[in-house]
Amino acid sequence: MTNNARVLIGRHVDELDTPVLVVDLDQFETNVASMATYCRRQGVNWRPHSKSHKSPDIARIQLAAGATGLTCAKLSEAEIFADHGVADILLANQLASPSRLEHLARRQEGGRIIGIVDHPDALAMAARAGQRVGVDIPLLVDVDIGMHRTGVQPGPAILDMARAIEAAKGVRLVGIMGYEGHVLTAHPAAAKELAARTALDHLVHGRDALLADGLPCEIVSAGSTGSYDLAATHDAITEIQAGGAIFMDAMYRDRFHVDDRFGFALHLLTTVTGQHADHIVTDAGFKTLSAFHNEPRVLDRIDLDFGYLSAEHGVYRLKAGSSGPGIGERLRLLPGYGDSTTVLHDHFVAVRDGRVERVWPLTARGALS
């Protein structure tokens, strides 16, 4: 933590310079406990995706609550969390660089970082890297269960890839994974459940094929915040990667219809810097807040509609009959999508009863390789 961050502790939230990313500690802790408890009751492991926070401090809280490890998107990100004591990490992104794979192999000495593969060439690179270093890199078969982004096709290709991993030197098979991201916006609930079940069944069939062939399948990984309950209750899923539920945001609630088990723990505090006949302007633009996936929402007020974001300005339209907030007033904004907002900031300011209790750096921010 920097000295500038330390001086924030103990200050009242009204004293904070804006724009600033604020975490409601009571709600955050409730969300973490709710997800951990839900997974425990369903008999699945919780391996939350770190992209929602990029913070080792938050990772430690998740692990203390019962998470069995983390999911990361990039090796450099995984290394940061490993250096901060996270001993079991899923790198849910296929590496296609001999140098990065050799680095992954060397990192096995300090803990398990599991890779994924969906192509023979990537497998061959991983195997050569493992052999050069003298370790077996743990791997999952990545399965395309409907997202049509990455993964082998469901069916015989799963078993073929699993057999290839098992036969190769320098790697070892630990299971399979898939992502049902294409079902998240399905509605009503019955349609979403059917779509998710259909997608996740591909992993069930894959697991069964591996086990019938005498192959190991320790891990069957899937699930996001938008479908956490459907994945956690599905046969064969051993762990879910849901990460964003610890904060929640407008997209999870409005477009993915995530239930109110999780409340809004993250908001962006902004100041009104301009007042006009039909709109107001704030000091939080797209360098502070993302509106790409979903529009942010103004909390605590019903007289403002989102207009647009420019680099350093947020524009909100006044509803008919409203004079709106005055210059200098502060607004709380619910991020449209937390993952693409948090990475714009250096730290979270965690508040309880109106006072800053903790400051959590986003240590893995910018870890892109």
Q: What CATH number does the domain containing 301 carry?
A: 2.40.37.20
Pairing relationship of beta strands 219-222 and 171-178 according to DSSP bridges: parallel
Residue 41 has pLDDT above 80, yes or no: yes
Q: What is the DSSP letter of 184?
A: T
Q: In the predicted model, what is the mean pLDDT of the chain?
A: 97
Share of the chain above pLDDT 90, in %: 97
Q: What would the mean pLDDT of 241-265 be, rounded to a whole number?
A: 97
Q: Do 95 and 198 sit in the same domain of this protein?
A: yes
Would you state the pLDDT for residue 6?
77
At 352, is the pLDDT very low, low, confident or very high (cuts 50, 70, 90)?
very high
Nearest to 228 by CA among 38, 22, 366, 2: 38
CB 268 within 8 A of CB 341: yes
Q: Do 88 and 114 sit in the same domain of this protein?
A: yes
Q: What would the mean pLDDT of 219-230 be, rounded to a whole number?
A: 98
CA distances from 93 to 8, 16, 305 (A): 36, 38, 37
Q: Report the distance separating Cα 276 and Cα 317, nearest Å.
A: 9
Q: Tell me how crowded residue 10 is: count the other CB atoms within 10 A of its CB.
A: 10
CB 266 within 8 A of CB 55: no
Residue 330 has pLDDT above 70, yes or no: yes
Instruction: Render pLDDT for 45-100 as a digit per residue (tens, 0 to 9).
Output: 999 999 999 999 999 999 999 999 999 999 999 999 999 999 999 999 999 999 99
Q: Do 228 and 315 sit in the same domain of this protein?
A: no
Domain coverage including residue 232:
25-244
The answer as to whether 254 is a domain residue is no
CB 68 within 8 A of CB 239: yes
CA distance from start to end of the chain: 24
Q: Do 292 and 208 sit in the same domain of this protein?
A: no
Q: Do 224 and 353 sit in the same domain of this protein?
A: no
Residue 1 has pLDDT above 80, yes or no: no
Q: Do 53 and 10 sit in the same domain of this protein?
A: no
Q: Report the distance separating Cα 257 and Cα 107, nearest Å.
A: 39
Instruction: Render pLDDT for 155-197 as a digit per residue (tens, 0 to 9).
Output: 999 999 999 999 999 999 999 999 999 999 999 999 999 999 9
Would you state the pLDDT for residue 53?
98
The answer as to whether 366 is a domain residue is no
Instruction: Render pLDDT for 289-326 as a digit per residue (tens, 0 to 9).
Output: 999 999 999 999 999 999 999 999 999 999 998 899 99
Number of domains in the chain: 2
Q: What is the DSSP letter of 52?
A: G
Residue 2 has pLDDT above 90, yes or no: no
CB 89 within 8 A of CB 69: yes
The answer as to whether 86 is a domain residue is yes
